[in-house]
A and B are shown apart, each in its own frame.
Chain A
């Protein structure tokens, strides 16, 4: 039964292609059709996740804030995305006078394309990677760099001071947090010995002592690198507490100020799809991808484990948004350059120590020390600048 569920998607596609082949469709057409089916399935699943996430985010935020979320449309408000979609499509599409029309029009497209492209390399299950690239992790970061170009085009194409300022701040944030993100990803790739996502997932297989999964996040360096990757993922998706570029109380909506209707919906969709893509990469690199956490849980299909873990990480991101306040731009940049970057180097060095000390208990201790000392050093430097004692008020006592 579990084997049937596990191989259901691939078996279904193989049966369909066999059927077409029996009708005399040539081999090259079968390959093209198989690629199109994978693309359609991946995009369909992720757009469905986007719709679900847009309503679940509002409901989770609402429950955290002791109120109900959207609950009018459909059972428990689950058809809210349909209402949102109709609203976005029927809104008037304004282009400011004096705006650069071509750049203003192309910015949502340039934002959406990288978000969808990076979905091709994630391993969704055992043997279920749409595109098996030799340098998959590098592809992820290279295509993610296209997002920065889109943010700039959106900001500059709007002919608005707030937009261009918001775009410059957004790009500064994106490039600052990209470096710890890439270093953390490279740490996982270094220990796994390959840049292929499926090889990194396979390197996290097996169970130590029979029941503890050998995921990278359960090692000292992996925990640090995973946390840095998570924080970098929050910053790359412009989510709170790093959502200064699009916070409404800041620069209006930053680089998205002059966008309305379907173009804004495209930006919104690109942000959520990008969030799920980077959650998928975090799960692949540090949480074992499609591997089950305990040996007897392998009856659950691998693709179910992958999407379950991705949804759990996405829930954590929404939880963080509901809980933490927004960071100011200089605090944000100082945090990236003065704390996250040295910590990512410390995690990298700690992973190397763990590997070359033989991966035994001494190696674990050494890697823990190599990670803990910089954390305490940098952390104390940072926290000494803010006093955590009880506030005294000058006038209201």
Chain B
């Protein structure tokens, strides 16, 4: 009846509000991503990107993948966002707002149209798929010990290759950005 949803709210509000623990950060994520894509001021766009990374990490934690969420916070917020901010500071023109980064010409309309077309296609497929109508299973646990065992056991090759890749990226980025000594 009418008071049934409210009754379940009073019985166990934590369980009732559980979907909102995922949806609220997801909405913040989409809003800040939209702001980052549209903003004219580069630093503001980078800060909105940082906020969207934080929101994405919180969504991961709320979905039960705590390790991935914390890795996202540590790597994307602590490293990637800072590197982007440094790159903006080191390459900026004299006036940050008056630069030609302003959306000009047909390009923004074309980009938005392409993105909208892609979104419409994807949503069509998502909502028509039989696979996607599943209810939420019981909370899945991903203990850190199991992730560690999987990384060092079945996936150790991928782990080592990622390590080599990161070392190569580190050395490459340092060599690229180094100034030529006379």
A and B touch in the complex (CB under 8 A): yes
Residues of A within 8 A of B (CB): 28, 31, 100, 103, 133-135, 138-139, 141-146, 148-149, 152-153, 156, 164, 168, 171, 175, 178, 194-195
**B20 in the interface, Cβ–Cβ < 8 Å?**
no
From B44, B47, B57, B82, give the contact of A175 (CB < 8 A): B82
The answer for the CA separation of A103 and B82 in the assembled complex, in Å, is 16
Contact residues of A: prevailing secondary structure: helix
**B104 in the interface, Cβ–Cβ < 8 Å?**
no
Find chain A residues with CB under 8 A from B77 CB: 142, 145-146, 149
CB–CB B66/A28 < 8 A? no
CB–CB A164/B66 < 8 A? no
CB–CB B71/A142 < 8 A? yes
CB–CB B74/A145 < 8 A? yes
Known: A28-B12, A194-B145. A145 touches B78 (CB 8 A): yes
Known: A149-B50, A194-B145. A141 touches B74 (CB 8 A): yes
The answer for the CA separation of A196 and B56 in the assembled complex, in Å, is 23
Residues of B within 8 A of A (CB): 12-14, 43-44, 47, 50, 54, 57, 66-67, 70-71, 73-74, 77-79, 81-82, 85-86, 89, 143-145
Look across to chain B and name the residue whose beta carbon is closest to the beta carbon of A167: B89
Most A CB contacts (10 A, CB to CB) among B14, B43, B82, B86 go to B82
The answer for the CA separation of A136 and B145 in the assembled complex, in Å, is 13
Find chain B residues with CB under 8 A from A138 CB: 67, 70-71, 74, 144
The answer for the CA separation of A156 and B13 in the assembled complex, in Å, is 42
Known: A142-B78, A149-B81, A164-B89. A134 touches B144 (CB 8 A): yes
CB–CB B85/A152 < 8 A? yes
CB–CB B70/A142 < 8 A? yes
Look across to chain B and name the residue whose beta carbon is closest to the beta carbon of A155: B89
With both chains docked as a complex, state the minimum distance between the C-beta of B132 and any C-beta of chain A, in angstroms.
29
Task: Known pairs A145-B74, A168-B89, A175-B79; list 14 more (Cβ under 8 Å).
Answer: A103-B47, A134-B66, A134-B143, A135-B66, A138-B67, A139-B70, A145-B73, A148-B82, A149-B82, A152-B82, A164-B89, A171-B86, A178-B78, A194-B144
Find chain B residues with CB under 8 A from A175 CB: 78-79, 82
22 CB < 8 A contacts A-B: A28-B13, A31-B14, A100-B43, A103-B44, A103-B47, A134-B143, A135-B67, A135-B144, A138-B144, A142-B73, A146-B54, A146-B77, A148-B78, A149-B50, A153-B47, A156-B89, A168-B86, A171-B82, A175-B78, A175-B79, A194-B144, A195-B144
The answer for the CA separation of A103 and B57 in the assembled complex, in Å, is 22
Find chain B residues with CB under 8 A from A103 CB: 43-44, 47
With both chains docked as a complex, state the minimum distance between the C-beta of A30 and any C-beta of chain B, in angstroms.
12
Find chain A residues with CB under 8 A from B143 CB: 134
The answer for the CA separation of A172 and B73 in the assembled complex, in Å, is 19
The answer for the CA separation of A247 and B107 in the assembled complex, in Å, is 48
From B43, B54, B70, give the contact of A156 (CB < 8 A): B43
